[in-house]
Chains A and B, each alone.
Chain A
Amino acid sequence: GQQVMQIPQYQHVQEGEDFTTYCNSSTTLSNIQWYKQRPGGHPVFLIQLVKSGEVKKQKRLTFQFGEAKKNSSLHITATQTTDVGTYFCAGPISNFNKFYFGSGTKLNVKP
């Protein structure tokens, strides 16, 4: 089974509220990637984190990689309806040839 766990499974927020999704791995990750999948679409790469404790920002999105490189988070400030979709984290397990995806957090934003 998958070794990358993601919570929560669903999140419903009012437009303007913040949103956070968490990703946890049972093993140390060399890096972690985040993807967004819009309803009916395919996963689209957002970012890759490599360094322990790394924090990266993309406009309203803030990505963090834990000090132990076993967990990560994605935080969206002041959500907009365009943020609707499922957010996945993905980590390479054992080697770089395959990525295990978390089960995703489905975000719904009410206008």
Chain B
Amino acid sequence: DTGVSQNPRHKITKRGQNVTFRCDPISEHNRLYWYRQTLGQGPEFLTYFQNEAQLEKSRLLSDRFSAERPKGSFSTLEIQRTEQGDSAMYLCASSPPPGNTEAFFGQGTRLTVV
């Protein structure tokens, strides 16, 4: 499968714990996005990478959230001190250069904070 891969698919954690999600984009895609989706809503932009550089970060993203893409390939999204309001589907998407083209989404990681 050469699509966007996300791990884990599901994560249940206790409030206050840290969690980390991983995204492996399609190999030739230099653009990588993280979105969050809650029930009945569209995907909400969180952050954007072009290669290893994080170029955009939503104001919705509190200091508890951090994302990296160290070698311009896979990316990780970490949430520290999780809160119940963090429960959502976290979607990763990638796009090929030169940009402004379709985004290929992964299956997502569903986070439940109890």
- Whether the pair A48, B101 counts as a contact (CB closer than 8 A) is yes
Contact with B along A60-97 (1 / 0, CB 8 A): 00000000000000000000000000001010100111
Interface size bracket, B side? 20 to 34
Q: Does B42 contact A (CB under 8 A)?
A: yes
Q: Mark A31-54, 1 if CB is under 8 A from B, else 0.
A: 101000000011111001000000
Q: What's the nearest-Cβ distance from chain A to residue B97, in Å? A: 11
Closest Cβ–Cβ distance, residue B7 to chain A (whole Å): 14
Q: How many pairs of A and B residues are in contact by the CB < 8 Å rule?
A: 58
| Binary contact track B33-57/A, C-beta < 8 Å → 1, others 0 | 1010000111111001010000110
Complex CA gap A18/B93 in Å reads 31
- Taking a contact as CB atoms closer than 8 A, the residue among B42, B45, B55 that contacts A88 in the complex is B42
Closest to A4 in B: B42
- Judge if A98 is at the interface, Cβ distance under 8 Å: yes
Contacts A97-B50, A97-B55 given; 8 further ones with Cβ under 8 A? A6-B42, A42-B107, A48-B101, A48-B102, A88-B42, A97-B99, A98-B48, A102-B42
Provide 19 A-B residue pairs closer than 8 Å at the C-beta atoms, listed in order of the A residue: A41-B107, A42-B108, A43-B93, A45-B102, A48-B101, A48-B102, A88-B43, A90-B42, A96-B100, A97-B50, A97-B99, A98-B45, A98-B48, A99-B33, A99-B45, A101-B42, A102-B42, A103-B41, A104-B42
